[in-house]
Amino acid sequence: MSTAPHDPHAEVHFTSSETVRDIVIGLADGLTVPFALAAGIAGAVTNIASPTHLVVTAGLAEIAAGSIAMGLGGYLASRGDTEHFEAERRREEREVVERPADEEEEIYEIFEQYGVDREAATPVLRSLQANPKAFVDFMMRFELGLEEPAPGRALRSAATIAVSYIVGGAVPLASYLVFSDIQRALKVSVVVTLIALAVFGAIKGKALGASVLKSALQTVAIGGVAAAAAFELARLLNSHP
Amino acid sequence: MSTAPHDPHAEVHFTSSETVRDIVIGLADGLTVPFALAAGIAGAVTNIASPTHLVVTAGLAEIAAGSIAMGLGGYLASRGDTEHFEAERRREEREVVERPADEEEEIYEIFEQYGVDREAATPVLRSLQANPKAFVDFMMRFELGLEEPAPGRALRSAATIAVSYIVGGAVPLASYLVFSDIQRALKVSVVVTLIALAVFGAIKGKALGASVLKSALQTVAIGGVAAAAAFELARLLNSHP
């Protein structure tokens, strides 16, 4: 794998924020969707023998499906990004050799967007032309806006998202495992999960440098709206079987 | 809202690929998770009065929860990107005025990464200094690697993801509405959804410029693995209530 010139500080920032992003993606959906689904089923199925068992079954099936879909989806998306980067890089490497005049023109056009005329841009162009690898690196970043994906990122990303989804999903389901009374299990699940969503939102806000309170309220709102919608929809359907 | 200098061609490409990406995100999960959940429940609950009604209830609750979680999640993520861009832009605008020497140094450092020495970079620097707006635009793109999010993108992104999720989720659920025999509904759902996943994967591959066959196989594999895992897990749980 080629090594593009990187600002080491920028790269550390980039990698850690990508991991935080994966955890956020997995936890946000894991806390929200199984929570809302469990609430929906709990609101609908009151006339069967062991409704909490059904909620747990459906909830775990959802967690399996959701974590695999998100994890594998994340894996393939990251792999796709890497393949796209490598294909574009090979194309630039070819073009630098085969169409040097076009590439010269592209450099001038990049600088023109920032009001830098040809005369001022020429010394940079000559310097890049003396170093074809740097020329390609420059085009990848400044013409195409592509950053080289970190090696091994695809698998790490998939695992991070999937595990975060499972951890998140375990929170709303736990109370249905503990309480056999479905109404009680639902109430505890709602309280526990809304608290977890608020804590998660606050930490997310802090990690991403946004407002802690706003982030907490937003996360609670998403989970609350999703659960309320699922609950009402399921109850409506069940009142007209 | 400030208008950064854009290559119009690049911007069109950017916006349309963002929409395609949103549709892909929504459809991929919408086709996969409700499909897997429905299969899981269908495999588990055979001893109740109207199992297909339960599958439809749980499936619709999942679609409501999933589309709201993904749509609202996408909305807030896009809003966050815009806020982050604007905050960074204001910071750069301040720094250009308050710390011109540091900013000069940063420009030199950007070019140094590509082997361009100070002498060659100076004409570009002087040209940027004559035009503070272009200076800030240059730093946003080349120091921070940030692109200005398209205005109105957050809401469009949310709606695109949510609708795509609902459309995707309707495919696996339809057969449970049509057939009252749960085994038959499950079989039809599996066949119809795997075909839909293959078609979706092929179109996705074509739209994103990847291999059509490979993309189709990958999409079918994600859906198949998720559904099989949900099905087996739910059946396992139900055999030991």
Q: Dump pLDDT digits (tens) for A81-97.
A: 888 888 888 988 888 88
User: pLDDT tens for residues B11-58?
Assistant: 344 456 778 888 888 898 999 999 999 999 998 876 777 889 889 999
What pLDDT does B206 receive?
Answer: 85
- Determine whether the interchain pair B241/A53 forms a contact, defined as Cβ–Cβ distance below 8 Å: yes
- Determine whether the interchain pair A29/B237 forms a contact, defined as Cβ–Cβ distance below 8 Å: no
Q: In Å, how far is B195's CA from the nearest CA of chain A?
A: 17
How many residue contacts between A and B have a Cβ separation below 8 Å?
240
Interface of B with A in 152-191 (CB under 8 A): none
For residue B123, pLDDT over 70 is answered with yes
CA atoms within 13 A on the CB side of A213: 0
Residue range A137-160: average pLDDT? 84
- Determine whether the interchain pair A123/B120 forms a contact, defined as Cβ–Cβ distance below 8 Å: yes
For residue A102, pLDDT over 90 is answered with no
The residue among A179 and B239 whose pLDDT is bigger is A179
User: Shortest CA distance to B39 belongs to which of B191, B198, B202, B161?
Assistant: B191
- Determine whether the interchain pair B44/A61 forms a contact, defined as Cβ–Cβ distance below 8 Å: yes
Confidence of residue B211 (pLDDT cuts 50, 70, 90): confident
What average pLDDT does chain B have? 85
Query: Helix A132-142 to helix A118-129 angle, to the nearest 10 degrees?
Result: 130
For residue A155, pLDDT over 60 is answered with yes
DSSP state of A155: H
- Determine whether the interchain pair A113/B5 forms a contact, defined as Cβ–Cβ distance below 8 Å: yes
What pLDDT does A11 receive?
Answer: 39
What pLDDT does B8 receive?
Answer: 38
Chain A contact for B72 (CB, 8 A cutoff): yes
Exposed / middle / buried, residue B121 (Cβ in 10 Å: 0-12, 13-18, 19+):
buried
- Measured CA to CA, the distance from residue A9 to residue B6 in angstroms comes to 27
DSSP labels for A118-153? HHHHHHHHHHHHT-HHHHHHHHHHHTS--PPPPTTH
Chain A contact for B119 (CB, 8 A cutoff): yes
User: pLDDT tens for residues B92-118?
Assistant: 888 888 888 888 888 888 888 888 888
What pLDDT does B16 receive?
Answer: 63
- Determine whether the interchain pair A109/B70 forms a contact, defined as Cβ–Cβ distance below 8 Å: no
Q: With pLDDT > 70 as the criterion, what percentage of chain A qualifies?
A: 92
- Measured CA to CA, the distance from residue A6 to residue A16 in angstroms comes to 15
How much is the ipTM here?
Answer: 0.79
Is the Cβ–Cβ distance between B201 and B216 less than 8 Å? yes
Residue range B77-94: average pLDDT? 85
Chain A contact for B236 (CB, 8 A cutoff): no
- Determine whether the interchain pair B65/A208 forms a contact, defined as Cβ–Cβ distance below 8 Å: no
Is the Cβ–Cβ distance between A134 and B110 less than 8 Å? no
Residue of A nearest to B215 (CA): A76
- Determine whether the interchain pair A61/B114 forms a contact, defined as Cβ–Cβ distance below 8 Å: no
Residue of A nearest to B220 (CA): A69
Is the Cβ–Cβ distance between B59 and B172 less than 8 Å? yes
- Determine whether the interchain pair B37/A32 forms a contact, defined as Cβ–Cβ distance below 8 Å: no
What residues in A contact B210, CB-CB < 8 Å? 80, 83
What residues in B contact A72, CB-CB < 8 Å? 221-222, 225-226
User: pLDDT tens for residues A65-79?
Assistant: 999 988 988 888 788
Query: For B233-239, which contacts have Cβ atoms below 8 Å and span 24 or more sequence positions?
Result: B233/A60, B233/A61, B233/A64, B233/B40, B234/A57, B234/A58, B234/A60, B234/A61, B234/B40, B234/B41, B234/B43, B234/B44, B235/B43, B235/B44, B237/A53, B237/A56, B237/A57, B237/A60, B237/B44, B238/A57, B238/B43, B238/B44, B238/B45
Least confident piece of the model among A127-141, A169-183, B215-229: A127-141
Of B48, B61, B231, the CB nearest to A40: B61
Interface of B with A in 49-68 (CB under 8 A): 50, 53-54, 56-58, 60-62, 64-66, 68
Of B84, B209, B229, the CB nearest to A64: B229
For residue A160, pLDDT over 90 is answered with yes
DSSP labels for A27-76? HHHHHHHHHHHHHHHHHH--SSS-HHHHHHHHHHHHHHHHHHHHHHHHHH
The residue among A6 and A192 whose pLDDT is bigger is A192
Confidence of residue B129 (pLDDT cuts 50, 70, 90): confident
Residue range A191-195: average pLDDT? 96
Is the Cβ–Cβ distance between A89 and B102 less than 8 Å? no
What pLDDT does B44 receive?
Answer: 83
What pLDDT does B63 receive?
Answer: 95
With tokens 């990690």, the residue in question is A207
